[in-house]
């Protein structure tokens, strides 16, 4: 059974930092693109960032560009999202996702596997 499990969410003050992790089990995602999405109450799921299969290419959504860094440790089958200078508008449930292809994509329906999500709340 393939599972993606997020961790690292929580409550943080504006200006603070969080590091989210996504650990895969049941299969390896080495060589496949992975990404982070988020969904705030009443809003659609939004692309945050993605990393390609070998980790050599990344892409960021405008909402987090310059404040976040995505990375992956293929030996651990784990992906990370370091978020800095957090703002109240970053409050959302953050989901990790994996494709069955090596290339980055920003579309929700391009991702086959999804985690259950981790809540990030940024207080003002």
Mean predicted confidence (pLDDT) in 34-52: 97
Q: Per residue in 20-41, pLDDT tens?
A: 999 999 888 888 999 999 999 9
DSSP for 26-63? SS--TTS-EEEEEE-TTS--EEEEEE-TTSS-EEE-TT
Q: Per residue in 78-99, pLDDT tens?
A: 999 999 999 999 999 999 999 9
Asked if residue 118 has pLDDT above 90, the reply is yes
Taking alpha carbons only, the member of 28, 27, 73 closest to residue 51 is 73
């Amino acid at each position: 059974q393939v599972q993606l499990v997020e961790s690292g969410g929580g409550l943080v003050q504006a200006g603070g930092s969080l590091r989210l992790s996504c650990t895969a089990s049941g299969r390896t995602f080495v060589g496949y693109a992975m990404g982070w999405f988020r969904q705030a109450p009443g809003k659609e799921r939004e692309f945050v960032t993605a990393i390609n299969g070998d980790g050599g290419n990344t892409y960021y959504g405008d909402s987090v560009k310059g404040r976040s860094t995505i990375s992956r440790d293929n030996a651990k089958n784990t992906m990370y999202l370091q978020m800095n200078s957090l703002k109240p508008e970053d409050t959302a449930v953050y989901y990790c996702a994996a494709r069955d292809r090596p290339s980055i994509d920003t579309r929700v329906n391009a991702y086959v596997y999804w985690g259950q999500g981790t809540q990030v709340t940024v207080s003002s």
